[in-house]
Chain A
């Protein structure tokens, strides 16, 4: 994908490696994507596919000597990977924010929630303690925390899981960033709370025009909220498409496999699930050629040797030598 002028962030050929005693872990292996203002980009993949590490690299949150990062991350024309720590510090919160899966470990247990929200504001703006506290209470009210004035005086452990995630969102959006990285924001929450949080994120996005990168393993969450979706496998991008096309006309066997292994809420059970055989590879020993070939029903000799490039149109591309056969197989299933 080429980085047009309207892109807010474009990630170009991002590599992240960790050097360990057991070998080099290629957590992210040459990934490119971009996001425009106000857009929601879903990144899906299973554990260890590199989706969270990409986000951490973007935020400059990976420990430098251990993590080897290559490539470019352009934010409004600036390369974040070349930025110094001071520059990143001012960018984080102001322009890019992140919310995590587990809000309890992301909040400081010994400070009151209101104090923590106010701290974010004070770190970036010349503002007194009292007005910052006042803003914090307003923010807590905006994210739907009941009795915000009183709740601001409580500690994270006094909040429920859903309220903690609301508090995290309040902190993340305190300074109206242009981009929000949401790393499995609802995975730890119950479904009714997940629905509350996702609808809150949608509302705030509409009001503020925030671009959201939604990292998740849940294809349902992506289907409901993402405009565009990236599918990652073993540190690589295997398919990118609009949410509709991805679900209804996948072109990569891994995407097809994920969809067929999914138990469906909205259908009467007809048959057994069709899981993907085997397990995801270790990122130290990624199979040669296409990383998915040992688990793939479409694989041929070529897949064992050549790493397939991401090919297709600008709207829908897949990294598979046999994407036409995958599309045909999918069409046959839909007809039947």
Chain B
């Protein structure tokens, strides 16, 4: 049994107008029925561009936002039905690391207080855990008296990670944990996340937009577009045989730090912008920007894209892709 099983997860945000007579004028379909699972000790990366719903998914999984529908099973237990007390107990097992450590650490608390807080909430004696945690994330014992502003960005992220692993969770959701950091510091934090995973055997749900980082750290990758998962595969398979036109465009657009390779690569340029999640296109959500739809498909084939939302299933490419005409293409 997987550690985390998400099925049919939906998060809709109402859009309202009016002050006295508030009425709903629309629904932002941030997450629109997605399913995935994370095994023990595994890293699943959820990738996609801004507004695709990856962070909302992360928050809905932890019930930091209330899911509109769907099921989230953690260790066999249904989270969407857990009461407040039960949820609090369960949260010992599932933690989160945010993108901006400066915004997620209390500026008026020294690191010692920040790190003992989880123990206090769960009425556990921290003992020597603070010193152990600092050592585990590569900070010095004397750092415990310092405040967040006295640290660099990379060190602050280490504090954020120490807080997340304080209670020995089984799952840590990492929401863009290295996006705000410089490259040389990014590598330090990525190595730290891997070391911790090796030592504590925890699973990561890794939310990121940087595909290079994802290729390095993830075991499996799910690609999101406009609130839905469009492709899912083991990491190397996804990068070597991407089968959904969006995944192909996404991978081809990332520049590689090798001028010889860059000279022979041409990015697949997508037309226009992501449509509004208030009113996603009918059928396949990607069709309005899909190069395959625009250039390769016949009139009949296109009609199918407009009418019928493609399911996330394997169409002979070795892994599931939500495209009626999925076909593996090497773009690297």
Q: Enumerate chain A interface residues (CB-CB to B < 8 A).
A: 46-47, 146, 160-163, 190-196, 198-199, 217-225, 243-244, 247-248, 257-259, 261-266, 268-269, 272-277, 279-280
Q: Are B259 and A244 in contact (CB under 8 A)?
A: yes
> Contact between B257 and A196 (Cβ–Cβ < 8 Å)?
no
User: Interface residues, chain B, CB within 8 Å of chain A?
Assistant: 49-50, 152, 154-155, 182-188, 190-191, 194, 209-213, 215-217, 235-236, 239, 249-262, 265, 267, 269-270, 272-273, 332
Complex Cα–Cα for A194 and B252 (A): 11
B217 to chain A, nearest CB (A): 8
Taking a contact as CB atoms under 8 Å apart, the answer to whether B187 and A263 are in contact is: yes
Given known A199-B267, A269-B215, A279-B185, contact A263–B254 (CB-CB < 8 A) = no
Query: B269 → chain A, closest Cβ, in Å?
Result: 6
Cβ-defined contact, A191 with B212, below 8 A: no
With A243-B259, A247-B259 known as contacts, the answer to whether A195 contacts B332 (CB < 8 A) is: no
Quick check: A247 and B257 within 8 Å, CB to CB?
Answer: yes
Cβ contact of B273, chosen from A162, A243, A265, A269, cutoff 8 A: A162
**Inter-subunit contact B50/A266 (CB<8 Å):** no
Can you name 23 A-B residue pairings with CB atoms under 8 Å?
A: A163-B273, A190-B209, A191-B209, A192-B49, A192-B250, A194-B255, A195-B253, A217-B182, A219-B183, A221-B255, A223-B258, A248-B260, A261-B184, A261-B188, A263-B215, A265-B332, A266-B261, A269-B215, A269-B216, A275-B184, A276-B184, A276-B187, A279-B155
With both beta carbons as reference points, the residue of chain A lying nearest to B251 in the complex is identified as A265
- B286 smallest CB distance to A (angstroms): 11
Specify which of B249, B255, B260 lies most central, judged by the most chain A CB atoms within 10 Å of its CB.
B255
User: Are A218 and B255 neighbours in the complex by a CB distance under 8 Å?
Assistant: yes
> Could you tell me the distance between the alpha carbons of A225 and B270 in the complex, rounded to whole angstroms?
19
Q: B257 contacts A220, CB within 8 Å?
A: yes
CB distance from B253 to the nearest CB of A (A): 4
User: Which A residues are in CB contact (< 8 Å) with B50?
Assistant: 161, 190
Residues on the A chain within 8 Å of B212, using CB: 220, 262-265
Minimum CB–CB distance for B289 against chain A, Å: 9
Contact A195 B267 (CB under 8 A): yes
How many whole Å from B153's CB to the nearest CB in chain A?
8
Contact of B250 among A161, A191, A223, A272 (CB under 8 A): A191
Report which of B182, B210, B257 forms a contact with A223, defined as CB distance below 8 A.
B257
In chain B, what residue has the closest Cβ to A295? B184
Write the chain B residue with the least CB distance to A47: B182
Query: What residues of B have a CB within 8 angstroms of the CB of A222 in the complex?
Result: 257
B residues near A221, Cβ cutoff 8 Å:
255
- Residues in chain B near residue A248, CB distance under 8 A: 258, 260
B236 and A268 form a contact (CB under 8 A): yes
A275 and B188 within 8 A (CB): yes
**B250 & A258 in contact (Cβ 8 Å cutoff):** no
The 8 Å CB contact of B254, one of A163, A196, A258, A265, is: A265
Chain B, Cβ-Cβ closest to A218: B255
Checking A193, A262, A265 against B183 with a beta-carbon cut-off of 8 angstroms, the contacting residue is A262
Inter-chain contact B187/A274, CB cutoff 8 Å = yes
